[in-house]
Amino acid sequence: MTPENAPESRWSDLDRPPLNVPALRHALLLPGGLWTSLDIVEAIGSTNSDLVARAASLEEGAVLVAEEQTAGRGRLDRTWTAPARSGLFLSVLLRPGAQVPVERWGWLPLLAGVAAATGLARAAGVDMSLKWPNDLLVKVGGEERKTGGILAERAGDDAVVVGIGLNVTLRADELPVPAAGSLALANAISTDRDPLLRAVLRSLEQWYTDWRAAGGDPARSGLQAAYTAGCATLGRTVRAELPGERSVVGEALALDGDGRLVLSTEGGGRQAISAGDIVHLRPAG
């Protein structure tokens, strides 16, 4: 069989080698640690959908990673697609349990954003920021670009599945939209997905363990302060596009204790936004 008609394999693109499953399991599945299982599949519709469907039969700390997602989802059921092995596409199963009141579980996607940003800043050497509520941003040519997103979904009464999607080696001609970016385009010092995945999961374990030990208190665990420090939305004039085709424009002032974005609106009022799309209208002052 000649190279021209050879079937494509996972080794076809040597710039995008497959993840090393045995090495990752050896590094991450530690006695007494949070992560209890690590499965890596060649392709799947959605890692989140799969873990949600199987949550009842899995222990807390199950990790599912896909080399390629064919029906990846973001917030509001938006699609997330990327070439095989060009990014990190993973979901984890968490059971905050009786230690954390259910009303504080809404902090989990924000926690995952802080964990991913801090882990990747160390491992990839890029300056990452957070766009409320669930986007990971990098600078490409001085312009903010979305390189990742977070999606948290309830899985029964006692579990949450948190998904993280991250563009790692996407080239400019592969970007799904002009506003997207990747670690490679942000001049990351490393785009080796094995250490990047280890960094994200270790950071997520540390933040989640501290947050749960604090009873989910965002202030006592340091989560609220860390998110505030890394949030590119605060201090900017933004438009919040709300459910029901409503919108409100104001300056993003702070995060409250429930993780809501507090806006200063026209006339001196304040409004706390719990859900919606945020459009940055001007740079932070």
Query: Is residue 285 in a domain?
Result: no
Residues 276, 176 share a domain: no
pLDDT digits (tens, 9 = 90+) for 181-203: 999 999 999 999 999 999 999 99
pLDDT digits (tens, 9 = 90+) for 46-86: 999 999 999 999 999 999 999 999 875 555 455 667 899 99
Confidence band of 167 (pLDDT split at 50, 70, 90): very high
Residues 185, 239 share a domain: no
Confidence band of 129 (pLDDT split at 50, 70, 90): very high
Residues 266, 193 share a domain: no
Of 221, 228, 225, whose CA–CA distance to 207 is shortest? Answer: 221
Neighbours of 100 (CB within 10 A): 21
Residues 259, 213 share a domain: no
Residues 221, 122 share a domain: yes
pLDDT of residue 82: 82
Residues 247, 194 share a domain: no
The whole domain housing 68 covers 3-229
For residue 278, the cross-strand partners are 240
pLDDT of residue 284: 61
Q: How far is CA 210 from CA 98, 128, 187, 203, 221, in A?
A: 15, 22, 31, 11, 6
